[in-house]
Structure 1
């Protein structure tokens, strides 16, 4: 007699409490923000495996910002879920290609990264339909357009009783994230289930785990707000704190005594966006008004030149990343003939940060959303014990780098030459 593929399980025993609505929801977007230890990723993995075994023509796409982070996170979590449900003998998890196959039917879980967009837009399944998509660590996805491209790939009709659903899991580090306005601000949208979970939803934590959160609440209240309560905000370790958003007229600011326009450019390409920033700075008053930006992946140098021409910045003195001398030369040949490389120098990142920390930074509230996002998300790195290092994370730093380059001419003063 063949072994049955299904068995009765206790949802409360396997999954625990706090996720009933999440588990039963059939709408398009199932979104969970939460703190650490809230079992959101584990519950999502258990749900994906269960749904696929319930619907034998369904397949799942799992997406992260970069492909190479899957194996130690989503792939391992889904493999754990099959063991937790007692069905691991029916599943095959392979590393090359990175995928999971439900052996009785051939259904697949496919893993992709936004660093290879063609692998997503051209995706096909051999058996059945692509019904489900899981975005893990969605906060790392800075560009809503990247999400939309994947969203549009989950399309087409499905058989009766089937449905298409995108599950989105993240920690709410920054209220400037597009995830808030897209999923948590709308009211009464039947296609969206947006919930917040915390470690209090996780009855599988032990006393030692809970004591860690008690310590955090007392000693690291900013971190506890995000990692403990799952609230929007920024954890401890923000590099820039003296900044705000404000609507202002740059033409009016430019006419005030002591203000000078500065421009910076950080090159990116496939994995990282190119970041451009324009600001007005008053060295005496230590005030910096950021009034223009550009933030886009996969820009060629021709694209950057066209952007600068379109924005009317071709005659400005632009300081760019000196690690890209060929790009600077090419932009010069394309008509951006007042561009030059940053001087940088020893410990240039920390030196530039320390100089910028002296300034009150005002970001235009409508024109520069990515600048605000990076300012709120740019953190000091931590070691394994949680101690902050005098070194920033290598993330959320494209406009931040461009701003440091732009400020070189102010920081160096009379010693700065073109």
Structure 2
């Protein structure tokens, strides 16, 4: 038997990365042996690709098991006491970690969004509506992420209508994808940390790509700006929906920190790049964390 095991598989943010791993396990084995990949994880988000791939399908090659701490014979009484306290003090988290129910990530950065069908062409006809396009670079482990959305500043609404999300892309491949999607003439804002990549993509025909503006606390300022809008995400933008369902504030000793976890943020970063301008005022942390009135 050839076995590959992944702890905390939830951190594999896209299915393509798993598919590459799956295809890498090749070779003929003797009849009494077989290939096997084992994943373990907490079911934090019902929108995660793991649920659709392994739990919402019937496949004779898949064995999906749900277990809880209650059947773990290696836990001590002190370990079990942690879950009892969690059930009392944090029932939402307990449903996921204690009962293994599929849930929605706790401490979401964005709660001002919803999945919605819409015709972006009709939205674009509104007075004052502008289109925005952002690009976050990745390669081996992180995907390159591109997003297209409409901003209605007057009504404080954003409509996300297109995306691509793929690891292992070279800059010429990113340029070809943008052309294929029909956005080569649009202004696209890319991560300013990747000046060389921006220049290469420009040389491949994406003439209006520009570096993002970044300054002190630009991540928090960008989040604060996006929180001012009602965000509608088209159902076809599945990776955007996954990130908005999973992007959470970091914590330490059960205390919420003033920074998000650096995960499930590639499309969200691209979105920030596209809308962000250097702010003149400071950050309202209480409002940012959802504590302000």
Is 1:132–2:10 an aligned residue pair? Answer: no
1:373, distance to aligned residue in structure 2 (A): 1.2
Is 1:196–2:51 an aligned residue pair? Answer: no
Q: Deviations over 1:9-43 (max 9, x none)?
A: xxxxxxxxxxxxxxxxxxxxxxxxxxxxxxxxxxx
Residue in structure 2 matched with residue 93 of structure 1 by the alignment: none
CA distance, structure 1, for counterparts of residue 27 and residue 122 of structure 2? 52
Equivalent position to 2:140, from 266, 270, 283: 270
Equivalent position to 2:241, from 372, 381, 394: 372
CA distance, structure 2, for counterparts of residue 155 and residue 239 of structure 1? 41
1:156, distance to aligned residue in structure 2 (A): 4.8
Residue in structure 2 matched with residue 260 of structure 1 by the alignment: 130
SS at match of 2:172: helix
CA distance, structure 2, for counterparts of residue 210 and residue 306 of structure 1? 53
1:410, distance to aligned residue in structure 2 (A): 11
Indicate if the aligned counterparts of 1:291 and 1:364 stay in contact, CA closer than 8 A: yes
1:411, distance to aligned residue in structure 2 (A): 7.8
1:352, distance to aligned residue in structure 2 (A): 0.7
CA distance, structure 2, for counterparts of residue 178 and residue 199 of structure 1? 24
SS at match of 2:267: helix
1:217, distance to aligned residue in structure 2 (A): 2.0
- Choose 1 or 2 for highest CA Rg: 1
Residue in structure 2 matched with residue 335 of structure 1 by the alignment: 205
- Structure 1's 270 and 132: CA in aligned 2 closer, same or farther, altered over 3 A? closer
CA distance, structure 1, for counterparts of residue 29 and residue 169 of structure 2? 37
CA distance, structure 1, for counterparts of residue 91 and residue 111 of structure 2? 16
SS at match of 1:371: helix
1:409, distance to aligned residue in structure 2 (A): 5.8
CA distance, structure 1, for counterparts of residue 81 and residue 127 of structure 2? 55
1:151, distance to aligned residue in structure 2 (A): 2.5
Matches within 5 A, 1:188-227: 189-227=59-97
Q: Deviations over 1:136-156 (max 9, x none)?
A: 322222232332233334445
Matches within 5 A, 1:372-391: 372-383=241-252, 385-391=253-259
Unmatched runs of 5 consecutive residues or more in structure 1: 1-57, 59-130, 413-418
Residue in structure 1 matched with residue 288 of structure 2 by the alignment: none
Residue in structure 2 matched with residue 128 of structure 1 by the alignment: none
Is 1:358–2:228 an aligned residue pair? Answer: yes
Is 1:308–2:172 an aligned residue pair? Answer: no
The number of residue pairs the alignment matches comes to 280
Residue in structure 1 matched with residue 193 of structure 2 by the alignment: 323
CA distance, structure 1, for counterparts of residue 51 and residue 28 of structure 2? 29
Matches within 5 A, 1:54-69: 58=1
Matches within 5 A, 1:133-212: 133-187=4-58, 189-212=59-82
CA distance, structure 1, for counterparts of residue 81 and residue 247 of structure 2? 28
CA distance, structure 1, for counterparts of residue 198 and residue 4 of structure 2? 40
Unmatched runs of 5 consecutive residues or more in structure 2: 281-293
- Structure 1's 156 and 324: CA in aligned 2 closer, same or farther, altered over 3 A? closer
Q: TM-score scaled to structure 1, two decimals?
A: 0.63
